A and B are shown apart, each in its own frame.
Chain A
């Protein structure tokens, strides 16, 4: 802290200059006409810069213990079983209303202080044609800069897993007739190349001026060729297609697919650049048919938000054969370093690396080095000889997985150590193999799709991340076909990768009792000073809960979801297996408050102020990866009057 204060003090002039630039950044989020525009939450990432930051100061580290549930609202949109719901929505607060989308593709508008429903819109997306179950991460909000008379000058958008984007009037919930066809844009109609599924519009679009920037989710582990991961620029008023950006080169589209943008997108409101986190090409785990370089895949790509033209691209994983998609919207930050203000972005990723780039040029703020990694032993596969590595800021994940858990090993009569001894483990980027390879970190992160949160006044960045090895096994085609026939997926973790030489099996490294075979912690939260890059603190976050029993806090929990940060020095986060939401002291990492909600809150909370009162709202939807516990609870907390 002393060092940080010294740096900040020494760079007072730069800080003052930065403050000038920060004001428009915060106010750029205000499109709802609220009395306190800086305390809205009108985008998935809190603002379009994905900072997940609120200027609200009513709830402080001193009084947060008094936080109580202000209201809860049950959408009714929850189901388990074959078509279970996965609800990772961040509620939006704009236009004096809380908006949320649900995994059964309804939009709910509720009163921000009571939780009473204002209106409901049904997108009727639940027609059984979903390709990944029933999933939703909420809605997007747009308001016309120069509104005209009539409806639909403020709109709310929801996507469906059947590839439809619906646009409704934010005041009434009625479909906007001028948007697409009676309020519906059939995005799926644009995605015809190698189409195997209807594309899934899980993630709400990013908004820049009058343009919606839309990615989508697909299946990149089922077929060799899939829909290529095109990103769409759409007119926010009319739904007309303004531009497309193809991540897969034209000459590779018959060899592969996806590399899509399924996570959030951030936008710099000053430069109009949109930052796209792109995923791995299909099939995820065997790249022998897609050896040619695809520089936009598994990368952060900056495009002009209004034209789709590429400004720069930085590939963060070469020839991805681990499914370590770049999976969260980069968080924008103005770094004060060496007497300068550097417009930057933070792309913490699944590999547990803290990539920090100049957002105007794509050049690294702290060096990215090419580090040698092991070769593949699979015929036809050529793993990249080197991968980008960021030694500083300190990585979130070490080069090698933790040792085998003695407790899990003893209780399983040595199962864990025997298993580990017979599979390939050469640390980070060990290629998948027929005998099985430890993937560390694996597809479960590192950092999951929520990303981190930034206080732009102090440039303190907090991020939760997972410490989870998984076992990647390639299954030769003949063996796969013999065992699984034409099945595309199986309960034992099998994915077909049809059309390629290998099927694939993903296993969790658990013993016969379901205990993790590696030493804890399983999930951590880290705090960085982004001016210096220094790690401020790192602590386990959340608790594992199995059969109701809570494991020690020192073990942490796998988390899916992200934090929100407030000017008053608090971090709010759900995300953990134990269905608790927490308030954490940003200075120390100590937990100051926690509360049980109906299911894990697998998205970042929204922090907003309405009629002078600060609220923290969570969608407690759950995610089957964490626990079977699912819910439809939207819940807000506030201090008592």
Chain B
């Protein structure tokens, strides 16, 4: 059963994922970064691409099932955690900063969604 979920924060996550992908591409091709040609930045870039798809879904598909909503929330959080850890070991402050941005977007979405659920419940209770 689908219901309306919050789309707030999704665009921030999308921005963070685009920053992640961009910095990974830059790192992969730039000798001065010390990460040129490394598998680590490819991994983070792939994670950024997955985050981009998830955030697009979150932002564009407001009416989605509970399973999809749960999947998006959990997978984006895992992506943020994984990319943050990777960014730490890649010693890339930009990747870590982008994940902080994504985390803010994620929190906005989760809190916004909870607030919307709360309003909906209140409305249902008022109708009762």
Residues of chain A touching chain B, judged by Cβ–Cβ distance below 8 Å, are: 545, 547-551, 578-580, 596, 598, 629, 631, 633
Contacts and interface: CB of A to CB of B under 8 A. Distances in A.
B40 A548 contact: yes
A579 B32 CA distance: 10
Given A548-B41, A598-B31, A629 B36 contact: yes
A596 B40 contact: no
Given A596-B32, A598-B31, A629 B37 contact: yes
Contact of B33 (A549, A596, A633): A596
B40 to A, nearest CB: 3
B57 to A, nearest CB: 29
Contacts of B41: 548
Interface stretch (B86-94, B102-110, B111-119): B86-94
A545 B37 CA distance: 13
A548 B41 CA distance: 7
A549 B86 contact: yes
A580 B40 contact: no
A598 B37 CA distance: 12
Nearest to A543: B91
A112 to B, nearest CB: 23
User: Which 8 pairs show the lowest CB-CB distances between chains A and B?
Assistant: A548-B38, A548-B40, A547-B39, A596-B34, A549-B89, A598-B31, A547-B40, A548-B35
A548 B27 CA distance: 10
A482 B7 CA distance: 67
Contact of B90 (A549, A596, A598, A633): A549
Interface string B1-37: 0000000000000000000000000010001111111
Interface of B: 27, 31-41, 43, 86, 89-91
Nearest to A596: B34
Given A548-B39, A549-B40, 15 more contacts: A547-B38, A548-B34, A548-B35, A548-B40, A549-B86, A549-B90, A550-B90, A551-B89, A578-B34, A579-B34, A580-B34, A596-B31, A596-B33, A629-B36, A633-B31
Contacts of A578: 34
Residue of A545, A551, A598 contacting most chain B CB atoms (<10 Å): A545
A551 B40 CA distance: 13
Contacts of A547: 38-40, 43
A59 B35 CA distance: 28
Nearest to A547: B39
B31 A550 contact: no
Nearest to A552: B89
A631 B34 CA distance: 12
User: How would you classify the secondary structure of chain B's contact residues: helix, strand, loop or mixed?
Assistant: helix
A550 B33 CA distance: 12
A226 to B, nearest CB: 37
A545 B38 CA distance: 10
A479 B27 CA distance: 47
Contacts of B38: 547-548
Nearest to A551: B89
B81 to A, nearest CB: 16
Contact of B89 (A550, A579, A596, A598): A550
B9 to A, nearest CB: 29
Nearest to B35: A548
A335 to B, nearest CB: 40
Contacts of B90: 548-550
Nearest to B92: A548
A152 B33 CA distance: 43
Contacts of A548: 27, 34-35, 38-41, 90
A545 B39 CA distance: 11
Nearest to A580: B34
Interface centre among A547, A548, A598 (most CB of B within 10 A): A548
Contacts of B34: 545, 548, 578-580, 596
Nearest to B43: A547
Contact of A550 (B36, B39, B91): B91
A81 to B, nearest CB: 14
A631 B86 contact: no
Contacts of B43: 547
27 contacts: A545-B34, A547-B39, A547-B40, A547-B43, A548-B27, A548-B34, A548-B35, A548-B38, A548-B39, A548-B40, A548-B41, A548-B90, A549-B40, A549-B86, A549-B89, A549-B90, A550-B90, A550-B91, A578-B34, A580-B34, A596-B31, A596-B32, A596-B33, A598-B31, A629-B37, A631-B31, A633-B31
A202 to B, nearest CB: 25
Interface centre among A550, A631, A633 (most CB of B within 10 A): A550
Contacts of B89: 549-551
A43 B70 CA distance: 66
Contacts of B35: 548
A75 to B, nearest CB: 15
Nearest to A546: B40
Contacts of A549: 40, 86, 89-90
Contacts of A551: 89
B91 to A, nearest CB: 5
B39 to A, nearest CB: 4
Nearest to B38: A548
Nearest to A69: B32
B90 to A, nearest CB: 5
Interface centre among B27, B34, B39, B91 (most CB of A within 10 A): B34
Contacts of A596: 31-34
A629 B36 CA distance: 9
A545 B92 CA distance: 13
A371 B82 CA distance: 51
B30 to A, nearest CB: 10
A6 B31 CA distance: 48
B59 to A, nearest CB: 30
B12 to A, nearest CB: 26
Contacts of B39: 547-548
A550 B40 CA distance: 10
Contacts of A633: 31
Contacts of A579: 34
Contacts of A550: 89-91
A580 B32 CA distance: 10
A592 B36 CA distance: 25
B42 to A, nearest CB: 9
A550 B32 CA distance: 15
Nearest to B37: A629
Contacts of B37: 629
Contacts of B40: 547-549
Nearest to B90: A548
A596 B30 CA distance: 11
A545 B32 CA distance: 15
A633 to B, nearest CB: 8
B24 to A, nearest CB: 10
A200 B51 CA distance: 53
